[in-house]
Structure 1
Amino acid sequence: MIEEIRIENLGVIGRAHVPLGPGLTVLTGETGAGKTMVLTALSLLLGVKADPGTVRLGAPSAVVEGRVTGVAGTAVAARAEEAGAALDDDGSLVLLRTVTASGPDAQGRSRAFVGGRSVPQTVLGELAAELVTVHGQTDQARLRSPSRQREALDTFAGAEHRAVLDLYRSTWAERIRVQAELEDRTARAQELAREAELLRLGLAEVERIDPQPLEDVELAEEVERLAHAEDLRAAASGAHLALSGDVDAVEAEGAATTAVEHARRLLEQVGEHDPALASLAGRVAEAGYLLADVATELSGYLEDLQADPVRLDTAQRRRAELATLTRSYGADVAQVLAWADEAGRRLLDLDGGDERTGALQLRVAELTEQLTALGGQVHERRTRAAQRLAEIVSAELAGLAMAGASLQIDVDGLEEPGPHGLDRVEMLLVAHAGAPARPLGKGASGGELSRVMLALEVALASEPGSATPGTFVFDEVDAGVGGRAAIEVGRRLAALARGTQVLVVTHLAQVAAFADQHLVVTKSTSDGVDVVTESDVRTVRGPDRVRELARMLSGQEDSEAAHAHAAELLALSDVGR
């Protein structure tokens, strides 16, 4: 339930607080007083696209804040928490929307907040779908749409029906997916066969050459070494001689290891007289050990290093073989092996193409059979629900001063299954006794549509298990209605409000008389500009309410006749409820 709405700088409204409560709340006032802006504010909280032009002239931005109660433990709370919002301690949820003005120095942007957390505008729309149903003139026009008529019938049919319908829809979506894959495979059969043949040729070539992991890297190193064997031998031999010398050579005393050893002995001889030199002697000894190790490794390298033209030729030819693979299947052997692994899996899938096609055909047949069975269940449930709904709405229409009128709901089969079942749902109105049944989309006037829509909502709210929101908003649902019909509209709105919150904007005193709470919007003038302030949205009771109803009846709030009529309406509403 929406507990309150606070509005700043929206249209004619400078600042206003709109308290709402359970039951039926009506909003009245002179034309242009700001009632529309209250509904505009509510629509902003419900995620409707913002219009910067609605920001009050001269104000940098408009702000709308609403508080919703009774959402703890509901889908609304779950979605809000998923968006990062938090409920207040009393379990209520605060919604807020800001709209900046458009102009040279303004961007005309809108921001949405839920439970203190900034959220995308779409989140408000998702919450609104669970919280509020809004009916206005455009909604009456949408009632002419067969899809909206079908949705209304499915809502009325109850939770079990909607569960079967959801299963049908998921099965339909799966069948569409499988059918698309089957058609794609069939259309691409030759292309897939060519792909498989190319994969086989490529895998055969990889298998013939049989590359090994890192083989290209190791061969590159080996070829480089064999191609420069003499240069490597000369360098290693010279370095070995420089380090360790040759014991048979006359100049062996000049070798690096010999010189280092000589330096170590000199330092050790006097090290006992100076710790600094003793430390240096140790470091020279370490250098000697390192040079000796390097000399030993160079000796072993020289023994292993051999010029091998035959091996060099073999390695180069192997590299050329690997190059034929890397030119086609990857930058190096690692990528070639990865391609071969992926290609093998892809070829298995393609080689099983006939089996896969057969499996898809079988799956399509299974899903079609399931759709037929589920569609039959949906049709039966819709047919039963259509009869009940038509009876209830027809009874309501009789009470709404449409004597002899009735609603007929046809549930006809389609030639092919559709995403919403096997049916075409159409609502037809018999406007009076003896009149032909005509589709709502063609034969119903605005006033008749208003009453049919109201009768539908009363029927939906009264059916156990039907999905109804916590709040209904009706914008001039009484358009085109007057006299006794207006009284009956008020009575039905009051009946609907027994189980849910109903907010109605009306110009008819016959409707307003049935309200549990009556709000009046007026406007005042400040500095020559019309404005609605906190004091201009007020709840009227007792004599003030009689005066407002008198104004609505005759335009003269002080007329004694109008006062008497207003009092009579209030008494009638009490009796009727």
Structure 2
Amino acid sequence: MRIEGLGVIDEATLDLHPGLTVVTGETGAGKTMVVTGLQLLAGGRADASRVRRGADRAIVEGRFRPAQGSPAADLASEVGARTDEDGTLIASRTLTMDGRSRAHLGGRSVPAGVLAELADGMLAVHGQNDQLRLLRAGEQRAVLDRFAGDVVSGALSTYREIREQWLRCSAELATRRENSRELAREADLLGHSLAEITAVDPQPGEDTALLAEARRLADADQLRETAALAQAAVCGAPDCDHDQPSAIDLVGQARRRLQAESDPELQALGERLGEAAAVLGDVAAELSGYLETLNADPARLEQVLGRQADLKRLTRKYGADVDGVLAWAQQAHQRLAGLDTSEEAIAALATRRDQLATELTRHATALTVARTATARELGDAVTAELAGLAMGQAQLAVVVSPTLAAEGDDAALTVAGTRLRAGPEGVDEVELRLSAHPDAGSLPVHKGASGGELSRVMLALEVVL
């Protein structure tokens, strides 16, 4: 490991041996900066104030030797990092005065999170305050779960999934029972609104189509006059002066004159006029069809206006337009389906809750069994490590016990006839109990262990894990 420009360290190189390396020194010698450098290599938060005064940046480099096929080696391959000829992998972290941080692994720029994932299984920093974590009950349970590995993690994942379903079902049942009157009133309002919409039976885009039709019916006379004049101008009309040629006639005359000439350019223009004449013919035919379908029907206009009034009543209440009304109706149907406060619906929900509780109890029991089976293994492994830490007569026991539910606890679950609290981590409490020597009683580590003993227990756990 090489450190440059970090805190009190101008430049230093440390040879960290596999297994355990102890860093000691006087106050101000740079022990904290060594730990800070390790934390940076492990993807920790970068603090610009750690850059040495007078330096523009701090650099920390570390050489790791991942085993072939290990998660660290797979990670390096995944991000495209290159190993040296001896199989080692160089990780580096650069921190500038303006707070910017860059991470590299095997010559490739990577996010700091990649370094964190790399160091997770290859680097452990044990400081003088780390043992305080053991005083928290949740940390003691996490230690056991980590030691157990997939045996517990798989059971815990399934337990959490069922627990979420059970809690949701229980909460919904309680809400229906407590707020049945309010929910029934809401259901009545939704049912009335949906009945009103169903009676009108709006269709998607109907308001837009009716608006266009109403305008056409109201302006039928003017539209007919305009279309007839346009038709006469394009192709002529039976009652028009035959001496006044139409647009099609004029274009036809021009085309014939151009194509009668021998000049190729004029002939080409004549062909283009032929295309124009074809377009004019299509327009004339469409105008004729338009005039045939245009109908000034006062009865139909009144019907359209009445339909628009019906739709307007809906859009004033439920949406900006007909499509909005239909979207509201769909949401209302879904909401109404969930507001069934009948005795049958509540009974069905209660049955579902009981089924989930039975399933959750089964998974909670399986989780307890897995933890209990692993607890003895963890205690024996840590006890063996304590023998090498000047605690040869000490013994660590890992005790798994049920967590009793308090009165009125919403997460209470009956397991083997006892009401336990079904928390997100299961129904178990895990406690590390230490007996420092044969004549000493076994006490929880947060009560009976000294600071030095806590440090040794923490270090032994890190080795075992």
TM-score range relative to shorter protein: 0.7 to 0.9
Aligned to 1:451: 456
**Paired letter, 2:46:** A
1:313 is aligned to 2:302:
yes
Query: Do 2:82 and 2:107's aligned partners in 1 also have CA atoms closer than 8 Å?
Result: no
Aligned residue for 1:253, secondary structure, equals coil
Query: Do 2:248 and 2:280's aligned partners in 1 also have CA atoms closer than 8 Å?
Result: no
Rounded Cα–Cα distance in structure 1 between residues aligned with 2:282 and 2:5: 88
Inter-CA distance 184–125: structure 2 relative to 1 (3 Å threshold): farther
Aligned to 1:260: 250
1:140 to 131, 144, 155: 131
**Deviations 1:106-154 (CA, angstroms, capped at 9, x unpaired):** x234343444454544444344333333222111222233333333344
**Paired letter, 2:39:** S
Normalised to the residue count of structure 1, the TM-score between the two structures is 0.65
Query: Do 2:151 and 2:370's aligned partners in 1 also have CA atoms closer than 8 Å?
Result: no
**Deviations 1:481-504 (CA, angstroms, capped at 9, x unpaired):** xxxxxxxxxxxxxxxxxxxxxxxx
**Deviations 1:70-91 (CA, angstroms, capped at 9, x unpaired):** 2553334555666x45353666
Inter-CA distance 242–30: structure 2 relative to 1 (3 Å threshold): closer
1:96 to 73, 92, 95: 92
Aligned to 2:42: 46
Inter-CA distance 451–340: structure 2 relative to 1 (3 Å threshold): closer
Aligned to 1:329: 318
1:421 to 404, 423, 426: 426
1:10 is aligned to 2:15:
no
**Paired letter, 1:204:** A
Query: Do 2:184 and 2:341's aligned partners in 1 also have CA atoms closer than 8 Å?
Result: no
Rounded Cα–Cα distance in structure 2 between residues aligned with 1:265 and 1:143: 100
Inter-CA distance 339–81: structure 2 relative to 1 (3 Å threshold): farther
**Paired letter, 2:10:** G
The alpha carbon displacement at 1:248 in A equals: 6.4
Aligned residue for 2:302, secondary structure, equals helix
1:441 is aligned to 2:452:
no
Normalised to the residue count of structure 2, the TM-score between the two structures is 0.78
Inter-CA distance 313–388: structure 2 relative to 1 (3 Å threshold): closer
Rounded Cα–Cα distance in structure 2 between residues aligned with 1:354 and 1:226: 55
Rounded Cα–Cα distance in structure 2 between residues aligned with 1:248 and 1:331: 49
Aligned residue for 1:137, secondary structure, equals coil
**Count of aligned residue pairs for this structure pair:** 448
Rounded Cα–Cα distance in structure 1 between residues aligned with 2:75 and 2:177: 43
**Paired letter, 2:301:** L
Aligned to 2:52: 56
The alpha carbon displacement at 1:316 in A equals: 1.5
Query: Do 1:264 and 1:285's aligned partners in 2 also have CA atoms closer than 8 Å?
Result: no
Aligned to 2:33: 37
Inter-CA distance 24–375: structure 2 relative to 1 (3 Å threshold): same
Query: Do 1:260 and 1:284's aligned partners in 2 also have CA atoms closer than 8 Å?
Result: no
Aligned residue for 2:135, secondary structure, equals coil
The alpha carbon displacement at 1:211 in A equals: 2.7
Query: Do 1:260 and 1:288's aligned partners in 2 also have CA atoms closer than 8 Å?
Result: no
Query: Do 2:80 and 2:108's aligned partners in 1 also have CA atoms closer than 8 Å?
Result: yes
**Paired letter, 1:453:** M
Aligned residue for 1:334, secondary structure, equals helix
Rounded Cα–Cα distance in structure 2 between residues aligned with 1:404 and 1:453: 17
Aligned to 1:571: none
Aligned residue for 1:361, secondary structure, equals helix
Aligned to 2:99: 108
Query: Do 2:402 and 2:429's aligned partners in 1 also have CA atoms closer than 8 Å?
Result: yes
User: Considering only CA atoms, is the larger Rg found in Structure 1 or Structure 2?
Assistant: 1
* Higher mean C-alpha displacement, 224-233 vs 121-130: 121-130
Aligned to 1:67: 63
Give the alignment of 1:499-518 within 5 angstroms.
Answer: none
Give the alignment of 1:308-457 within 5 angstroms.
Answer: 308-351=297-340, 358=347, 360-383=349-372, 385-387=374-376, 389-390=378-379, 401-402=390-391, 405-415=394-404, 416-417=420-421, 418-432=423-437, 434-457=439-462
Rounded Cα–Cα distance in structure 1 between residues aligned with 2:377 and 2:291: 102
Aligned to 1:125: 116
Query: Do 2:35 and 2:125's aligned partners in 1 also have CA atoms closer than 8 Å?
Result: no
Rounded Cα–Cα distance in structure 2 between residues aligned with 1:165 and 1:214: 51
Q: CA RMSD in A?
A: 3.9
* Higher mean C-alpha displacement, 240-249 vs 43-52: 240-249
Rounded Cα–Cα distance in structure 1 between residues aligned with 2:371 and 2:286: 91
Aligned residue for 1:420, secondary structure, equals coil
Aligned to 2:219: 228
Aligned residue for 1:133, secondary structure, equals coil
Rounded Cα–Cα distance in structure 2 between residues aligned with 1:423 and 1:287: 88
The alpha carbon displacement at 1:221 in A equals: 2.3
Rounded Cα–Cα distance in structure 1 between residues aligned with 2:242 and 2:106: 90
**What are structure 2's unaligned runs of at least 5 residues?**
405-419
**Paired letter, 1:11:** G
Rounded Cα–Cα distance in structure 1 between residues aligned with 2:263 and 2:398: 115
**Paired letter, 2:304:** A
2:140 to 134, 149, 153: 149
The alpha carbon displacement at 1:58 in A equals: 0.6
The structure with the greater share of residues assigned to strand is 1
Query: Do 1:253 and 1:259's aligned partners in 2 also have CA atoms closer than 8 Å?
Result: no
**Deviations 1:135-184 (CA, angstroms, capped at 9, x unpaired):** 22111222233333333344455653554445444444444444444445
Rounded Cα–Cα distance in structure 1 between residues aligned with 2:75 and 2:16: 24
2:197 to 189, 206, 218: 206
**Paired letter, 2:458:** M
Inter-CA distance 179–119: structure 2 relative to 1 (3 Å threshold): farther
**Deviations 1:281-337 (CA, angstroms, capped at 9, x unpaired):** 555565555555545554554454443222222222122222222323333333434
Query: Do 2:255 and 2:271's aligned partners in 1 also have CA atoms closer than 8 Å?
Result: no
Inter-CA distance 233–80: structure 2 relative to 1 (3 Å threshold): same
**Paired letter, 2:126:** H
* Higher mean C-alpha displacement, 12-21 vs 54-63: 12-21
Query: Do 1:9 and 1:15's aligned partners in 2 also have CA atoms closer than 8 Å?
Result: yes
Rounded Cα–Cα distance in structure 2 between residues aligned with 1:204 and 1:412: 57
